[in-house]
Structure 1
Amino acid sequence: MEWKLFADLAELADGKRIAVDAGPGDTVGDALEALLATRPALEERVLDEQGDLEEHVNLLRNGRNVFTQEEGLGTELEEGDELALFPPVSGGSDRR
């Protein structure tokens, strides 16, 4: 599975595309954990004090917000899924 990262998240991860050990049957949360395990510099930017994804960070699976259009971090991955993580362009997020 591969993550596409944007803006300062790509800078923190030292790359715009990061492959992780996750695939069909795993969840978006599993893929996020795998990403943060290999790129710990991202953790402070994307997780809040409780370890949850910051509300201002957008997480998409195949162009769909996993929190408003899918099952959140419990969304099951399928073959060929494309994951993306990026901060908002301006303002906050309305994902919840």
Structure 2
Amino acid sequence: MEWKLFADLAEVAGGKRIAVDAGPGDTVGEALEALLASRPALEDRLLDESGGLEDHINLLRNGSNVFTQEEGLDTELGDGDELALFPPVSGGSGRR
């Protein structure tokens, strides 16, 4: 299984694509644990004080937000799933 990381998350992890030991039948939560085990520097960026995923982090499986469209971290992975983590998007055109 491979995670796609965007913006500063990729910088902290040292890459935009990180392979982890997770696959079909595992959960998104287990894949996230595998990611954090291989890239512990991400913990400060992704987890809140209680060890849960920060509210502002978007976690997608095949383009769907697992918290609003699926079973959250209990979402079961299927063959060929794509997982992605996005930090909050900040905008602005730079115009005044």
Gaps of 5+ in 2: 92-96
**Normalising to structure 2: TM-score of the pair?**
0.93
The aligned counterpart of 2:14 is 14
Separation in 1, partners of 2:16, 2:30: 19
Q: What's the CA shift for 1:71?
A: 0.2
Question: What SS does structure 2 have at the residue aligned with 1:3?
Answer: strand
Q: What's the CA shift for 1:86?
A: 1.0
- Given residue 19 of structure 1, which amino acid in structure 2 is its aligned partner? A
Separation in 1, partners of 2:54, 2:62: 20
Question: What SS does structure 2 have at the residue aligned with 1:67?
Answer: helix
Separation in 2, partners of 1:59, 1:66: 6
**Residue correspondences, number:** 91
Separation in 1, partners of 2:86, 2:48: 15
Q: Which has the higher helix share?
A: 2
Q: Which runs of 4+ in 1 moved over 3 A?
A: none
Separation in 2, partners of 1:32, 1:85: 10
| Structure index of larger Rg | 2
Q: What's the CA shift for 1:43?
A: 0.4
CA RMSD of aligned residues (A): 0.9
Pair 1:83 & 2:83 matched: yes
Quote the sequence identity (%): 85
Alpha-carbon deviations, 1:38-83, whole Å to 9, x = none? 0000001000000000001000000000000000000000000000
- Given residue 10 of structure 2, which amino acid in structure 1 is its aligned partner? A
